[in-house]
Chain A
């Protein structure tokens, strides 16, 4: 079955540094979604990518969908303490990656 791998598992950065998490699928995805979960909270939808090579931005967050629709990335520019949490990608059949846990040192 479809596997969605996410790396890295953990990332610790100094406030102001950039952060990137990657999502890779063993099969072509119809779409990919990104979610953020704050510590002790529930996943919150961030964005959905559908088209091959698509790039979307939300303020300091940049999301990309690979040309082959098998991989995706989330890049955060100049992290802030409010970015702390776990970022998940999810493939078209509701299969989630294991998540990347981001911690930010002020």
Chain B
């Protein structure tokens, strides 16, 4: 089992560019999450999904969109990247809204 994987591992964008981060899990989990982690601020929930075809907003959803077309995948999109979106992005999955398994993270730098 690979667990939770994220692609890419690292990306540099220019302001205004768009990109999609991919999260995949092979544990048949219903719940999937996207967090961003900034120094001194812990993990903040961007969006989450409680099942295939569903998405919901978290604490900091502005500037991001998500899709869960397949149960095992959860995509995070940035339509027009801004320097404030420079962060480390973590995806996680869980069987129920409790124990979460995190991916290795994606480091995003927006210039």
Residues of A within 8 A of B (CB): 1, 6, 9, 31, 33, 35, 41-45, 48, 88, 90, 92, 94-99
Question: Among the listed B59, B90, B97, which residue makes an inter-chain contact with A43, where contact means beta carbons less than 8 Å apart?
Answer: B90
| B interface residue count range (under 10 / 10 to 19 / 20 to 34 / 35 or more) | 20 to 34
Number of A-B contacts (CB under 8 A): 48
Give the interface SS of chain B, mostly helix, strand, loop or mixed. Answer: loop
Contacts of A6 in B (CB 8 A): 42
Chain A minimum-CB-distance residue to B88: A42
A31 to B94, CA, bound (A): 15
Min distance, Cβ A27 to any Cβ of chain B, angstroms: 15
Q: Are A43 and B58 in contact (CB under 8 A)?
A: no
A33 to B104, CA, bound (A): 19
User: Of the candidates A9, A45, A98, which one forms a contact with B100 in the assembled complex, judged by CB atoms under 8 Å apart?
Assistant: A45
